[in-house]
C-alpha cells in the first residue's frame, strides 16, 4: 500500500521539464527534390507552445477511463507532430542572441503553460491514469523523453539541503496524519448520508478536503523541495495499517451508497469516486 506516497510525492509533484521540443505543426511539403525548409526558432517556440495548449485542453477533459482513452489517442497524435522535426538544426541556424530574444519573449507563457501541463499530468497520475493503459503509456513516454520526471535519484528536484530535509521530516508526517484524520472524519460523515440534501452536503465537504490537501501538499514542496524517495517510503511505513483501515472503510461505504444510487446526488457520486481513487 503506497498510494498515499503517490498522492504527495509523485503524482502531484511531477516535475514537468520544458524540454525544447520541435514544432508540432509541419511546414508545407517542399517540392520534389528540394530539402524541407526548417521553421525559425521563433516559429518553433510558438508552435510548441500552441501544441502544449492543445495538450492541456485535452488532458483537462480526463475524468474517467473512457475520456482518458480518448485523450491519450489525441495526445499521442499531437506529441508525434512535436517530434517530426529535429531541434538541433533549428538551433544551429539561429544566432544565440535570437535564441535568447525568443526565450525571453515567451518565458512567461512557457512557464504558465508548463505549470498547467504539470498539474494535469499530476492529477491524472493520482488516479493511475484512470485505469487507461493508453494514458499510462503516454505518461511513460513523457518520462522516457524527459518531459516529466518523477523524482529520480540525484534529480535537481530532490532536496539535499540538510536544513530543508529536517523540515520535510517534520512536515510530511504531519501532512499524512492530518490527511488520515480528515479521511476518518469524512468516512464517519458519509455513513450519516440518508437523503439528497445530506449527500450533497457530504460531497461539498469531500471536495473541500481534497482541494485543501492538494494546496497543503503543494505548499510543502514549493517551500522545501521534493523529499528523497526513501524518506517518503520510510515515513509511510508505520502508517500503512491505518491507511489500509481507511481504504477498507471507504470502499464499504462507497458500495452501500452505490446501492442507494447515492441518494440521487450526482455530486456525491463524482466526489466519492474521486476520493476513493486517492486511497
| Last-in-domain residue among 103, 120, 146 | 146
The length of the chain, given as a count of residues: 279
Are 207 and 265 part of one and the same domain? yes
Res 36: pLDDT: 64
User: What is the grid cell recorded at 99?
Assistant: 535564441
Cα separation of 233 and 238, whole Å?
A: 10
Are 131 and 244 part of one and the same domain? no
3-state secondary structure of 38: coil
Are 239 and 124 part of one and the same domain? no
Res 175: pLDDT: 92
Are 177 and 270 part of one and the same domain? yes
Res 118: pLDDT: 82
Tell me: the pLDDT tens digits for 28-87?
Answer: 444 555 556 788 989 988 998 999 999 999 999 998 889 999 999 999 999 988 878 777
Q: Is residue 9 part of a domain?
A: no
Residue carrying C-alpha cell 526558432: 41
Res 185: pLDDT: 95
> By the 8 A CB rule, do 169 and 161 touch?
no
Are 190 and 251 part of one and the same domain? yes
Res 18: pLDDT: 32
Res 196: pLDDT: 96
User: What is the grid cell recorded at 60?
Assistant: 483537462
Cα separation of 186 and 173, whole Å?
A: 20
User: Residue 16: in which H helix or E strand, if any?
Assistant: strand 15-16
Tell me: the pLDDT tens digits for 21-44?
Answer: 333 344 444 455 555 678 898 998
Distances (CA, A) of 103 to 96, 97, 146, 193: 11, 10, 20, 54
Cα separation of 137 and 143, whole Å?
A: 10
Q: Which domain holds residue 219?
A: 162-277
Q: Is residue 97 part of a domain?
A: yes
Q: Is residue 10 part of a domain?
A: no
Q: At what angle do helices 229-236 and 162-190 cross, to 10 degrees?
A: 40
* 0.85 exceeded by pTM: no
User: Residue 15: in which H helix or E strand, if any?
Assistant: strand 15-16
pLDDT of the chain, 279 residues: tens digit per residue: 333 333 333 333 333 233 333 333 444 444 555 556 788 989 988 998 999 999 999 999 998 889 999 999 999 999 988 878 777 788 888 898 898 899 899 989 988 888 888 888 877 876 667 788 899 889 888 877 777 754 433 344 567 788 888 999 999 999 999 999 999 999 999 999 999 999 999 999 999 998 898 888 888 888 888 787 678 778 888 988 898 898 889 889 999 999 999 999 999 998 887 776 555
Q: Is residue 154 part of a domain?
A: no
Closest CA to 4 of 270, 250, 202, 190: 250
Number of domains, the chain: 2
Q: Is residue 173 part of a domain?
A: yes
Cα separation of 90 and 6, whole Å?
A: 38
Q: Where are the alpha helices (DSSP H) in 12-106?
A: 41-59, 65-82, 87-92, 96-105
Res 131: pLDDT: 80
Q: Is residue 8 part of a domain?
A: no
| Last-in-domain residue among 122, 146, 170 | 146
Q: Strand pairing of 15-16 and 148-149?
A: antiparallel
3-state secondary structure of 94: coil
Q: Is residue 101 part of a domain?
A: yes
User: What is the grid cell recorded at 132?
Assistant: 487507461
Phi, psi of 26 (to 5 degrees): -70, 135
| Last-in-domain residue among 87, 112, 146 | 146
Are 175 and 261 part of one and the same domain? yes
Res 126: pLDDT: 65
Q: Is residue 251 part of a domain?
A: yes
Q: Burial level of 39, CB count in 10 A (0-12/13-18/19+)?
A: buried
Amino acid at each position: 500500500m503506497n498510494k498515499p506516497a503517490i498522492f504527495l510525492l509523485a503524482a502531484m509533484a511531477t516535475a514537468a521539464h520544458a524540454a525544447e521540443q520541435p514544432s508540432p505543426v509541419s511546414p508545407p511539403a517542399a517540392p520534389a527534390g528540394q530539402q524541407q525548409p526548417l521553421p525559425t526558432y521563433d516559429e518553433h517556440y510558438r508552435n510548441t507552445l500552441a501544441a502544449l495548449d492543445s495538450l492541456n485542453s485535452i488532458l483537462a477533459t480526463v475524468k474517467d477511463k473512457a475520456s482518458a482513452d480518448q485523450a491519450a489517442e489525441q495526445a499521442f497524435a499531437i506529441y508525434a507532430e512535436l517530434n517530426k522535426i529535429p531541434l538541433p538544426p533549428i538551433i544551429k541556424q539561429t544566432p544565440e542572441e535570437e535564441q535568447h530574444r525568443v526565450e525571453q519573449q515567451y518565458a512567461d507563457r512557457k512557464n504558465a503553460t508548463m505549470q498547467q501541463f504539470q498539474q494535469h499530468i499530476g492529477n491524472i497520475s493520482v488516479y493511475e491514469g484512470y485505469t487507461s493503459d493508453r494514458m499510462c503509456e503516454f505518461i511513460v513516454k513523457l518520462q522516457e523523453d524527459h518531459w516529466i520526471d518523477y523524482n529520480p535519484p540525484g534529480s535537481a528536484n530532490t532536496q539535499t539541503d540538510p536544513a530543508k530535509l529536517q523540515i520535510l521530516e517534520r512536515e510530511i508526517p504531519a501532512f499524512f496524519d492530518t490527511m488520515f484524520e480528515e479521511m476518518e472524519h469524512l468516512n464517519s460523515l458519509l455513513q450519516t448520508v440518508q437523503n439528497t440534501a445530506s449527500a450533497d452536503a457530504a460531497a461539498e465537504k469531500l471536495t473541500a478536503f481534497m482541494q485543501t490537501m492538494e494546496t497543503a501538499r503543494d505548499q510543502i514542496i514549493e517551500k522545501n523541495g521534493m523529499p528523497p524517495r526513501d524518506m517518503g517510503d520510510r515515513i509511510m511505513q508505520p502508517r500503512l495499517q491505518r491507511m489500509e483501515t481507511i481504504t477498507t472503510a471507504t470502499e464499504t461505504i462507497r458500495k452501500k451508497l452505490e446501492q442507494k444510487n447515492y441518494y440521487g446526488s450526482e455530486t456525491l457520486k463524482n466526489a466519492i469516486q474521486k476520493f476513493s481513487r486517492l486511497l
